């Protein structure tokens, strides 16, 4: 299943072109912009035969209100997030123990974009979010993810707790992250079939989500700050998993 998404900002548009130029439908650019970066972008779009519409900046503002589009908006034929029924087939097709990232009601699109970028870099096999009360694949997510929003399989599920039960039934070990976790991050065994479960901004893991985790991990903190931003914490945990799993190869 696919959906058309508007992506704004020079960096995000360039990332989309690098990832798969065949998915670019059309582009609108600020007719007044003739700087080096815009000229380079126009040449790239000309090479792939993409329709380019020069227009007034207010038209770009109308397409992406309250967004720093930097004078360019791209229409992208992207994939829609996958659903509950797709997850089992996706995991069945893997030839290695999965590394999964679960985001429990992360609502800030900047955080979702950053988490997807870290997930892509860490080789995460699936990112799972609840369908409700969570950020979707918005232009901000695409901009921050810098291409990872298309590269990482994203699953939106109707009932996160039920999904966690299904993962556990498949032999996936569920590690939640919490300030009061009873196991240090470096003491958790992240080498097998693992799901890293991260909580929402500010509130952390919901009670039912926490209760369905097999263990709660805590990141050792040496300074005065009590916790990290969810996207930063996600990167820390994922790359500890990468370190441990790399020792097996």
Distance in angstroms (rounded) separating the CA atoms of residues 136 and 15: 19
Distance in angstroms (rounded) separating the CA atoms of residues 39 and 55: 15
pTM equals 0.81
Residue that finishes a domain, picked among 79, 102, 128: 79
CATH code at position 130: 3.40.1280.10
Half-sphere exposure of 153 (CA within 13 A, CB side): 20
Q: Are residues 104 and 54 in the same domain?
A: no
**Structure token pair of residue 172:** 């996936």
Tens-level pLDDT at each residue, the chain (249 residues): 567 888 899 988 888 888 788 889 999 999 999 899 999 999 999 999 999 999 999 999 999 998 899 999 999 887 777 888 899 999 999 999 999 999 998 999 999 999 999 999 999 999 999 998 888 888 788 878 877 888 899 999 999 999 999 999 999 999 999 887 888 999 999 999 999 999 987 778 999 999 999 999 999 887 766 678 899 999 999 999 999 999 765
Task: Indicate the burial class of 71 (C-beta count within 10 angstroms; 0-12, 13-18, 19 or more).
Answer: buried
Q: Are residues 140 and 204 in the same domain?
A: yes
CATH code at position 64: 3.30.1330.30
Provide the number of structural domains found in the chain: 2
Q: Has 199 been labeled as part of a binding site?
A: yes
Q: Are residues 55 and 159 in the same domain?
A: no
pLDDT at 226 (0 to 100) = 66
pLDDT at 249 (0 to 100) = 56
Going by C-beta distance under 8 Å and a sequence separation of 6 or more, which residues neighbour residue 164?
102, 174, 195, 197, 209, 212, 213
Q: Are residues 217 and 239 in the same domain?
A: yes
The SS3 assignment for 202 reads: coil
Q: Has 228 been labeled as part of a binding site?
A: yes
Going by C-beta distance under 8 Å and a sequence separation of 6 or more, which residues neighbour residue 92?
none
Q: Are residues 184 and 142 in the same domain?
A: yes
The domain of 6 spans 2-79
pLDDT at 1 (0 to 100) = 59
Q: Are residues 205 and 124 in the same domain?
A: yes
């Amino acid at each position: 299943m696919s959906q058309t998404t508007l992506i704004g900002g020079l960096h995000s548009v360039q990332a989309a072109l690098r990832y798969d130029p065949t998915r670019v439908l059309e582009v609108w650019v600020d007719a007044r912009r003739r700087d080096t970066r815009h000229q380079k972008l126009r040449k790239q779009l000309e090479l792939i035969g993409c329709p380019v519409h020069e227009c007034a900046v207010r038209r770009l503002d109308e397409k992406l209100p309250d967004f720093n589009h930097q004078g360019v908006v791209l229409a992208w034929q992207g994939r829609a997030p996958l659903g509950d029924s797709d997850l089992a087939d996706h995991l069945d097709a893997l030839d290695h123990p999965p590394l999964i990232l679960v985001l429990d009601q992360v609502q800030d699109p900047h955080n979702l974009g950053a988490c997807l970028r870290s997930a892509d870099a860490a080789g995460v096999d699936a990112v799972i979010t609840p369908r409700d009360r969570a950020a979707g694949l918005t232009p901000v997510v695409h901009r921050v993810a810098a291409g990872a929003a298309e590269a990482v399989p994203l699953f939106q599920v109707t009932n996160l707790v039920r999904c966690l039960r299904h993962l556990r039934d498949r032999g996936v070990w569920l590690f939640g992250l919490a300030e009061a976790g009873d196991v240090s991050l470096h003491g958790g065994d992240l080498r097998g079939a693992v799901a890293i479960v991260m909580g929402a901004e500010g509130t952390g893991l919901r009670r039912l989500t926490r209760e369905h985790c097999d263990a709660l991990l805590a990141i050792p903190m040496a300074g005065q700050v009590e916790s990290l931003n969810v996207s930063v914490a996600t990167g820390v945990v994922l790359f500890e998993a990468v370190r441990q799993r790399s020792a097996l190869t």
